[in-house]
Amino acid sequence: MNVLLAVSGGIAAYKSAELVRLLRKQGAAVRVVMTRSAMEFVRPLTFQALSGNPVHSELLDADEENAMGHITLARWADLMIIAPATANIIAKCSHGLTDDLLTTLYLAATCPVYIAPAMNQAMWNKAVTQENIQKLKSYGVTVIGPGQGDQACGETGFGRMSEPVEISQRLLGKPIAQCLQGLKVLISAGPTREPLDPVRYLTNRSSGKMGYALAGAALNAGAQVTLVSGPVQLAAPLNIEVIGVETAAQMYAAVISKAPEYDIYIGAAAVADYSPAAAQSEKIKKQAEQIALTLQKTRDILAEVAQLEHRPFTVGFAAETHNLEQYAQDKLARKNLDMIAANWVGRDLGGFESDQNALQVFWENGRSTLAMTDKNQLSAQLISLIAERLYEKRQLKT
C-alpha cells in the first residue's frame, strides 16, 4: 500500500511523524509532502528519516519534476491523507484552489483521499469551515476526527487531530480496537437456494466470503456476532453463532426473529429476489421442448428489518452491474437504511466469489470509498465506518 502523507502547517504536525512510523510498521510505503508552514513546525529531515524517502515541498522544483513530478506522485499513491489538515488547507481543497504542491496533489489524486482536521475549536465550529467540510465529504473525501479535548491554544473543544494510531487503523483497515465492544451484530451471508423440485434449485454466485469476513471483523472489534448463513463452503470464525439456512424464506424468518435484539444488522447475503411459486414434490421429467417457470417475489429482509419498531442500525449491500451509485442511493432511500455498501459485480475482480472487493459506501449526506483490497481488510474498514456512524446517530438522539 502506497500512502501519500500531506502535512500542512499546524502544531499537530508533530503527531504526523508518529503516523509515518505506524504506517511503515504496518507495511505501507510512505512519501511525505509538506507545505512551507508545516516546515516551520517540524523539520523535513524528521519525515525523511522516518519515511526513508525525500520529502516533497516545491511545486516547481526542477529536480523534483524530473524525479517525481506531482502527477507521478499522485499516480503512485494508493491513498492520500492530509494530516494535519488546517482550516486554510480545507478551504483551499474544497474550492479547488491549487497554489502549492499539497493542494495540487489533492486535485490530481484519483485515489481515496482522507483528511484529519486540526485547528482551534472556534475555527472548527465556524459555519464556513463546516460548509467546506461538508463539501469535501460530498466529493468523496473521508474525514477522520477531529477529536475533543484540551488544545495547544489553551481552549477545550473539538479540533484536536485524531491520534496517529486511530488514523493508521482507519487507513490500513485495522479495526479500531474494541469499537463495537458490548454491541450485538447480526450478519447475513452467502446465497440462498430456491428449490424447483427435490433435486434442483435456483441460486447465485455468492461464496459467503464477504459476510464471513465482516463477521470476523465485527468479532475483532469486540462485538457479539451472529451469522445467518446460506449454504457456503466456509468455516465460521470461532466464537460466532452460525444459523444455517437454505431458502430466502428461511433466511427471512431467522433474521426477522433475531433482529430486534441486535444493535447492528448487515445484509451481505445475496438473497433470491424471486423463488419458484410452487416447488414440485417430484423430479421434473424431461418431456416438453420448453417449460415455463412461474416465480414469486420473495420478502425483502433488509427493508423489513429497517421497518421494525426496535430496529438495529441497518446496513445493506447493493450488488450492481451498472449505475452503481444511482441504484445504491435509491436502495438507501427506498429501504430506509442507515448505510449502504455498493459493489460492482460481474467484473474480473471483486464482488462475487473473489477474495478481494472494493466498496462505495453511502449514508445520508455522506459517502466513503473503500479501495480494492482483500475482503478481511475491507471488512475492518467497513466495520470502523459503521461504528462511527452508529455512535454519531446515537449522539444525535441523546
Binding site for ligand PMT (CB under 6 A): 188, 190, 206-210, 248, 267-271, 273, 298, 300-302, 316-319, 331, 343, 345, 351-353
| Identity of the residue, 294 or 395, whose beta carbon is nearer to ligand PMT in the bound complex | 294
| CB 213 to ligand PMT: min, Å | 8
| CB 1 to ligand PMT: min, Å | 22
Burial level of 81, CB count in 10 A (0-12/13-18/19+)?
Answer: buried
| Identity of the residue, 47 or 262, whose beta carbon is nearer to ligand PMT in the bound complex | 262
3-state SS of the chain is: CEEEEEECCCCCHHHHHHHHHHHHHCCCEEEEEECCCHHHHCCHHHHHHHHCCCCECCCCCHHHHHHHCHHHHHHHCCEEEEEEECHHHHHHHHHCCCCCHHHHHHHHCCCCEEEEECCCHHHHHCHHHHHHHHHHHHCCCEECCCEEEECCCCCEEEEECCCHHHHHHHHHCCCCCCCCCCCEEEEEECECCEEEECCEEECCCCCCHHHHHHHHHHHHCCCEEEEEECCCCCCCCCCCEEEECCCHHHHHHHHHHHHHHCCEEEECCECCCEEECCCCCCCCCCCCCCCCCCEEECCCHHHHHHHCCCCCEEEEEEEECCCHHHHHHHHHHHCCCCEEEEEECCCCCCCCCCCEEEEEEEECCEEEEEEEEEHHHHHHHHHHHHHHHHHHHHHHHC
Q: Is 258 annotated as a binding residue?
A: no
Q: Is 283 annotated as a binding residue?
A: yes
| CB 226 to ligand PMT: min, Å | 15
What's the CA gap between 343 and 356, in Å, rounded? 11
Report the C-alpha dihedral over residues 343, 349, 354, 358, rounded to 10 degrees. -40
| CB 366 to ligand PMT: min, Å | 19
| Identity of the residue, 179 or 271, whose beta carbon is nearer to ligand PMT in the bound complex | 271
Is the distance from CB of 67 to CB of 56 less than 8 angstroms? no
329: amino acid identity, one letter: Q
| Identity of the residue, 57 or 188, whose beta carbon is nearer to ligand PMT in the bound complex | 188
Q: Is 335 annotated as a binding residue?
A: yes
Active site residue 153: yes
| Identity of the residue, 223 or 259, whose beta carbon is nearer to ligand PMT in the bound complex | 259
* Annotated catalytic residue, options 93, 111, 153, 179: 153
| CB 67 to ligand PMT: min, Å | 41
| Identity of the residue, 70 or 367, whose beta carbon is nearer to ligand PMT in the bound complex | 367
- Binding-site residue set: 273, 283, 317, 331, 335
Q: Report, as residue numbers or ranges, the catalytic residues.
A: 153
Annotated binding residues for CTP, written as ranges, equal 273, 283, 317, 331, 335
